[in-house]
Amino acid sequence: MTASVANELSTGTWAIDPVHSSIGFSVRHLVVSKVRGTFKAFSGAIVVAEDGTPSVTAEIAVDSLDTGNEQRDAHVKSADFFDVEKYPTATFVSTGLRADGGDYVLDGDFTLKGVTKPIALKLEFNGRNPGMGHGEVAGFEASVVLNRKDFGIDIDMPLETGGAVVGDKVTITLEIEALRQA
């Protein structure tokens, strides 16, 4: 992390608290609206080395996808989209952090459906708090827009009027609270 964030986080491991964090996504549907969903099961950590250098790792259980519609969820989990039986997890491993005005960009390698690509998450550091008796917490918000076809999710369902049933661009939004480990 850059000096500003590194100075705010104590050396050691900060575990993502899934109870106080969320991973959501949205994608165009029928050109005119968006379908939104979340992943209910995920884990990860931020490790800050003695020299202040951070590393971030995360894993998402892709089969924990929830859009609020069981039929749609089953289709998205199928081989047409995520193929969760063959590729049950998505992973992120950071490769660097850089300043971007008052915020940051977290670079890393994202693997989904067996395909690994570099991505750049827009990152906002929300600060640190002593917590409520369970240790220090730190908060982050991050987002990235991915092209689903870059990750082998290339189902095409064109509409007669133009466009497609499902858009190519998927926005991933993360609200993360990390707990300093003793």
Give pLDDT tens digits for 124-167. Answer: 988 888 777 778 888 999 999 998 788 777 776 654 665 455 66
Cα–Cα distance list, 49 to 43, 62, 96, 111 (Å)? 20, 30, 13, 24
Classify burial at 168, counting beta carbons within 10 Å of its beta carbon; exposed 0-12, middle 13-18, buried 19 or more. middle
pLDDT above 50: residue 3: no
Which tens digits make up the pLDDT trace of 121-136?
999 988 888 777 778 8
DSSP state string for 101-138: TTEEEEEEEEEETTEEEEEEEEEEEEEEE--SSS--EE
Rg from Cα positions in the chain: 17
CATH code, residues 3-180: 2.40.128.110
**Threshold 0.85, pTM exceeds:** yes
Q: Which two tokens stand for residue 9?
A: 């986080």
Which tens digits make up the pLDDT trace of 17-68?
999 999 998 886 554 557 889 999 999 999 988 887 889 999 999 999 999 9
- The torsion angles phi and psi of 181, rounded to 5 degrees, stand at -85, 140
8 A C-beta contact, residue 64 and residue 40: yes
